[in-house]
């Protein structure tokens, strides 16, 4: 994307990683820069859910294209592979074209790799709460490549994993130990995402609620063709 900031050694490091891992596509997840409270309420959900529920090692190791992920902010792809899969021509009608591009690369028999940027790539993804909510609502469901039933079950699973220990602690403070894995997990994902883990811990209850809201809103908008982005209505054209 044009709004991505690259450190001088970013491209060299990315190419070296591709060569070492022998992959046809590398997608690097930037450190997301946030300047407003509204952004801090929504944008961290992307890295939190990604690092919690998508095993990046399987994205690289398995040939199963269900484990395909990429982010349009930074994609490096071999020229020969890009033309072999007909580039963006075959995915121009997809809202989450970055994920579909990675899926097509894997379907062509090549490996893909998703990696953290470790500070070499930075980007301010959105500029406000509403823009962040609309942006993630646009991509969460369609980018998951799950059926509506499987996606909804995943959301229900998240609700249980997040809210059950919180509810138990509220009922009885002796259940504080049940919160420890959740807190440690949030600290780890924050550090991996180059985010302030103290901010994310303070916002954790709000993030949990907004994660459910955003995920639910995402599947609703997609299934009802109500996705609007930058004033344009987008047709989801749901398909695998």
- The CA R_g of the chain, rounded to the nearest whole Å, is 18
Whether the per-residue pLDDT at 16 is higher than 50: the answer is yes
pLDDT band at 237 (very low <50, low <70, confident <90, very high): low
Phi-psi region of 194 (alpha: psi -120 to 50; beta: other; left: phi over 0): left
Q: To 5 degrees, how large is the angle CA 70–CA 135–CA 95?
A: 55
For 67-116, the pLDDT digits (tens) are 899 999 999 999 999 999 999 888 888 888 999 999 999 999 999 999 98
Quick one: CA dihedral 208, 192, 98, 108, positive or negative?
negative
For 91-194, strand residue ranges (E) read 112-116, 121-123
Nearest to 47 by CA among 197, 147, 159, 240: 197
Share of the chain above pLDDT 90, in %: 72
Is residue 74 within 8 A of residue 68, CB to CB? The reply is: no
Cβ contact 43:126 at 8 Å: yes
31-32 and 121-123 strand pairing = parallel
CA distance 31 to 192: 9
Where are the domains positioned within the chain?
4-234
Strand order of the sheet with strand 121-123? 4-6, 121-123, 31-32
Mean pLDDT, rounded, of the chain = 91
Please state the pTM of the whole predicted model: 0.88
Q: What are phi and psi of 198, to 5 degrees?
A: -65, -45
pLDDT tier, 1 (very low <50, low <70, confident <90, very high otherwise): low
């Amino acid at each position: 994307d044009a709004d991505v900031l690259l450190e001088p050694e970013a491209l060299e490091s990315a190419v070296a990683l591709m060569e070492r891992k022998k992959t046809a596509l590398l997608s690097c997840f930037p450190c997301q820069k946030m300047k407003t409270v509204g952004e801090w309420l929504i944008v961290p959900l992307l890295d939190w859910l990604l690092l919690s529920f998508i095993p990046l090692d399987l994205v690289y190791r398995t040939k199963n294209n269900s484990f395909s992920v990429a982010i349009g902010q930074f994609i490096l792809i071999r020229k020969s592979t890009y033309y072999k899969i007909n580039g963006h021509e075959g995915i121009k009608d997809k809202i989450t074209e970055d994920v579909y591009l990675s899926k097509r690369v894997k379907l062509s028999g090549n490996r893909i790799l998703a990696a953290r940027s470790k500070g070499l790539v930075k980007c301010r993804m959105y500029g406000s709460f509403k823009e962040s909510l609309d942006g993630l609502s646009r991509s969460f469901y369609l980018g998951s490549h799950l059926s509506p039933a499987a996606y909804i079950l995943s959301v229900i699973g998240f609700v249980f994993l997040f809210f059950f220990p919180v509810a138990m602690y509220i009922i009885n403070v002796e259940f504080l130990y049940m919160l420890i894995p959740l807190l440690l997990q949030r600290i780890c994902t924050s550090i991996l995402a180059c985010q302030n883990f103290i901010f994310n811990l303070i916002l954790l209850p709000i993030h949990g609620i907004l994660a459910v809201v955003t995920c639910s809103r995402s599947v609703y908008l997609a299934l009802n063709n109500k996705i609007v982005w930058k004033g344009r209505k987008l047709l989801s054209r749901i398909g695998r």
